[in-house]
Structure 1
Amino acid sequence: MTISSSSVPRPQAAEAALPILLRQLRLARIRSHWQSIASQAETEGWSHSQFLYSLCEQEVEQRQQARQQRLLRSAQLPWSKALADYDHSGRIEAGPWQELEGLTHQSEWLQRGENVLLFGPSGVGKTHLAIGIVLAQIALDQPCRFYPATALVQELQKARADYNLPQALERLDRYPLLLIDDIGYVRRDEQESSVLFELICHRYERRSLLITANQPFTAWDEIFPSSSMTVAAVDRLVHHCHIVEIGGDSHRRADAERRAGRRRKEQG
């Protein structure tokens, strides 16, 4: 394509019109930085292609940062804790820990619809680990969503009452990874358990679930109203799954005991 020289405005007119064009093209980063980059290019003798590359690189970087912020807001995490900040010594064996670390470095397992189940007593850091996995996937540009299990069930129950459950399940498909925290707090109620079961069936081999649970599978009859539904749910979850068991004492209890010990020393 050849542009006629007569159609190109004079330098002053072009400089005045350029911000308007960049706004129309929604190139916010270039609009705010092109003058400083142009000065640098002139000082350092860049070629036209080097100047254009630098402008485009700035725009891509800004858009990626903006997308990361959108993904973080959309995930609705209660706090931010990285997997690297978790002290797994004495809690998780070396093999499962390496498996968890491997999940944070790539997203192919999400494309295969694989699940992650984190088991352990209250206070051992299951939610910390789950959030660490979610943050790692967001860094890899994967949309994720956090839900306390009871809140998710209530949302799906409302959707069913409004005859919108299929649409609600499809909306959750926008998240390749759905974190369901503390599944054991779901009551053994047919309405609650049935929507949870439908979610598990809907995402089976299509989208991934990351679930934390205090109870082992043998106690999941307390979640679902029948043993047949329990078996069917567990069967779908574990078919393509990474299962990690976490041991040790409660972090919260240990922290409380340390604080109490410090107070006793200060008072003594």
Structure 2
Amino acid sequence: MSDMQEQAIRQQCKTLRMSTMGGQFARLAEAAIREGQSHIGYLEALLGAEMEERETRAIARLLHEARLPRMKTLEGFEFDRSGVSAAQLRDLAAGDYVAKAEPILLVGEAGTGKTHLATGLCVAACRQRRRVRFTTATAMINELAEAAHANQLSRALSRWERLDLICIDELGYVPLAETACELMFQVIADRAEKAAVIVTTNLPFSEWSQVIPNPRLCKALIDRLTDRAHIITTGTDSYRFRRTTAARKNEKA
């Protein structure tokens, strides 16, 4: 293959936005000759490389748009040190709950791994090419309040509605004003039986009235979130505290 041919092919690949093919066609052609591949075999390898790279870029974009606090996966969670079922989380990570619009509620004390598990489920959903958004309850309410103040609430609610999965972290850590609760309820109510939501909370449902002052709104929110939900209890024993304690013991040993 002449230099002129290579340049022409690279330019054509650039025009067709096939950057991986443009970067790998020569190397794969040499490999095909060495291995005695057919023309069809070479074409299959070339197209496969392009598809694989596009898939990688698409997932990277979805992970970026999800606004995850940290890149944590279920594979990195130490299930043997927690009371959470690894099998249950693996089943959920397969994504059926997203397709069926079933909520997931992670309930437990601070440090028990709720955010790690929620993030891991979000990563799994992004890998399945689903549109995900991770937020804290406070950040979501602030965003909606700013949109309402700017007369853009309807547009903001539409953006949330278009997502395949929303994860609301730290619900229950800070008392919420009634107006704030109403804004969050709009998002959750709009998704009921239509799209999936993950919520992490440090409070049992019987104590949600401590942070949601309107009893009727509190009851309605719990009703929407618990309907057909997967409720996972992470316990009261801090995973982070145990890990820190173990690390200090190892340092002294």
Q: Same fold (TM over 0.5)?
A: yes
SS of the equivalent of 1:221 reads: helix
Residue in 2 that maps onto 1:4: none
The counterpart of 1:52, out of the listed 35, 43, 51, is 43
CA positional deviation for 1:256: 4.5
Counterparts of 1:74-89 in structure 2, within 5 Å, are 74-89=65-80
Residue in 2 that maps onto 1:99: 88
Counterpart contact for 2:173–2:202, Cα < 8 Å: no
Q: CA–CA distance in 1 between the matches of 2:248 and 2:35?
A: 63
Is 1:246 matched up with 2:234? yes
CA positional deviation for 1:192: 1.1
Residue in 2 that maps onto 1:26: 17
RMSD between superposed Cα atoms in Å: 2.3
Is 1:123 matched up with 2:111? yes
Counterpart contact for 1:90–1:247, Cα < 8 Å: no
Residue in 1 that maps onto 2:194: 206
Residue in 2 that maps onto 1:136: 124
Q: CA–CA distance in 2 between the matches of 1:164 and 1:47?
A: 58
The counterpart of 1:183, out of the listed 171, 186, 194, is 171
SS of the equivalent of 1:243 reads: strand
Q: Max radius of gyration: which structure?
A: 1
Task: Kindly provide the amino acid, as one letter, of the partner of residue 37 in structure 2.
Answer: W
SS of the equivalent of 1:196 reads: helix
Counterpart contact for 1:118–1:245, Cα < 8 Å: yes
Q: Once the two structures are aligned, what percentage of the paired residues are identical?
A: 31
SS of the equivalent of 2:176 reads: coil
> Kindly tell me: are residues 93 and 63 of structure 1, through their superposed partners in 2, closer, same or farther at Cα, counting changes over 3 Å?
closer
Is 1:225 matched up with 2:213? yes
Q: Which runs of 5+ in 2 are unaligned?
A: none
Q: CA–CA distance in 2 between the matches of 1:250 and 1:121?
A: 7
Counterpart contact for 2:82–2:239, Cα < 8 Å: no
Q: CA–CA distance in 1 between the matches of 2:172 and 2:228?
A: 21
Residue in 1 that maps onto 2:34: 43
SS of the equivalent of 1:71 reads: helix
Q: Which runs of 5+ in 1 are unaligned?
A: 1-9
Q: CA–CA distance in 1 between the matches of 2:212 and 2:247?
A: 39
CA positional deviation for 1:222: 2.3
Is 1:61 matched up with 2:61? no
Deviations 1:194-229 (A, max 9, x none): 111111111111111111000011111123231111
| TM-score, length basis structure 2 | 0.90
Deviations 1:112-134 (A, max 9, x none): 11110000011111111111111
Q: CA–CA distance in 2 between the matches of 1:83 and 1:11?
A: 49
Q: CA–CA distance in 2 between the matches of 1:235 and 1:202?
A: 13
Task: Kindly provide the amino acid, as one letter, of the partner of residue 187 in structure 2.
Answer: L
Aligned residues: 253
| TM-score, length basis structure 1 | 0.86
Task: Kindly provide the amino acid, as one letter, of the partner of residue 59 in structure 1.
Answer: E
Residue in 1 that maps onto 2:146: 158
